Amino acid sequence: MPVSTRPTPATERTTAAVQPPTSALDTAAALLALLRDTAVEPRPDDQLEALTLAVAADLPVLLWGEPGIGKTAALHQLADALELPLTTVIASVHEPSDFAGLPIVGDDPAEQGVPMAPPDWAVRLVRAGRGLLFLDELSTAAPAVQAALLRLVLERRIGSLRLPPEVRIVAAANPRSSAADGWELSPPLANRFVHLQWTHDHQVVVRGLGGTWPVATLPRLDPNRLPEAVAYARRAVCGLLSTRPTLVHRLPKDEARRGGAWPSPRSWETALRLIAFATAAGSSREVLSLLVRGTVGDGPGLELLASLDRMDLPDPEALLADPEGAELPERGDLRQAALEGVVAAVNARPEKARWDAAWALFGRAVETGPPDLVVVPATTLAALRRADWEVPEAIERLAGVVALSRRADAAARAATAAGAGR
């Protein structure tokens, strides 16, 4: 799916001046110029925002998608948007020495050694001082070539040259099932990338073929939120790994999954950087989900996203201090998690006043949201009652809700069983 990035508003078009043709080829060239005449418009696109965010974070990105989906065209247009010279390298047609460097014998090898000469495209990138290096057809590169790419992707070294900091690296690959003589990516190489699944939006394609494509722009980072974003990202990743140490490094057993995103200290560091950038840019949860799952894998990524949700939950002690004026999350799962956190806080320090405050909070939860979310935490809270604690009036108000919810659950189970028995 091509993504035009020229800063031309959708209402303006740069129609090429049509000169009177002097030959058949001139006529063909004039028609081609008209076909290339397109406009751009701002349009929300989660996968495009995820790509630009990872590029801004100076992380190597790998786009996965079927042939003809528009990966290469998107990279060409991204380079135009960033005003970076694009260098395309087809990995599968190169030898390992093209990335490791070719040995060149000097005047006195015993004294000066044998330097490793870089390829011409690397020299051009260093001379330019900036650029977008596009490694295409990565899944058709032989294992020996993939091994040679390790140093380039991680350390940005080719032979004796180091690529400038202003060079960004993006790769593209087809799944092995649709790649021409494809290979699975080696685990060391795969673990160095942010993996993004590239798909097409039929509405974007139709509108683009009509002459208007979405525009790609770098995310706008809020300079006032940078320290907060870094602290938030570190707290999120370290908090999860402190409670789930087995997630620090988990190499998949399946060969195909090893060629994708999986958790390691390296990929967790990448995830931390992406969370900081997404927070500073105010990106949506959908964009953050694409980036996190594309870095540490679906399972660990979803756990990290869930831990981020819990970080945004209100403090249980603040809820107990003012139950009548408490603001509970709107999302059902987060609301229930907040109520369960209150129950845990009461259990950690069981006092009659705190127990009563929790019941008052549950009463407010019933008034402001779905009552069924209160059933499980209310049952747990009731079990914390001490023998000398009087039953508060709030329990009487909630008793009917709990009983009604249980009857509804029982009826639903009975209906499901009856349907299965037919």
Burial bucket for residue 388 (CB in 10 Å: 0-12, 13-18, 19+): exposed
pLDDT at 266 over 90: yes
- Rounded to 5 degrees, φ, ψ at 224 are -80, -15
pLDDT at 11 over 50: no
Q: What is the pLDDT of residues 102-140, one digit of tens each?
A: 777 666 666 666 677 788 888 899 999 999 999 988 888
**Global pTM?**
0.73
Q: What is the pLDDT of residues 329-359, one digit of tens each?
A: 888 878 888 898 899 989 999 999 999 899 8
Instruction: Give the chain's length.
Output: 422
Specify whether 322 is located in the same domain as 302: no
Give the three-class secondary structure for 107. coil
Last residue of a domain, one of 271, 290, 311: 311
Specify whether 199 is located in the same domain as 67: yes
**CA 173, CA 62: separation in Å to the nearest integer?**
7
**CA 415, CA 422: separation in Å to the nearest integer?**
11
With bands split at pLDDT 50, 70 and 90, how would you rate the model's confidence at 402? Answer: low
Last residue of a domain, one of 269, 292, 311: 311
Specify whether 334 is located in the same domain as 305: no
Specify whether 38 is located in the same domain as 130: yes
pLDDT for the residue 223: 93
| Residue 347 lies in domain | 316-421
Specify whether 288 is located in the same domain as 379: no
**Cβ–Cβ under 8 Å, residues 58 and 132:** no
Specify whether 349 is located in the same domain as 276: no
**CATH code, domain carrying 85:** 3.40.50.300
- Rounded to 5 degrees, φ, ψ at 326 are -70, 145
Specify whether 201 is located in the same domain as 277: no
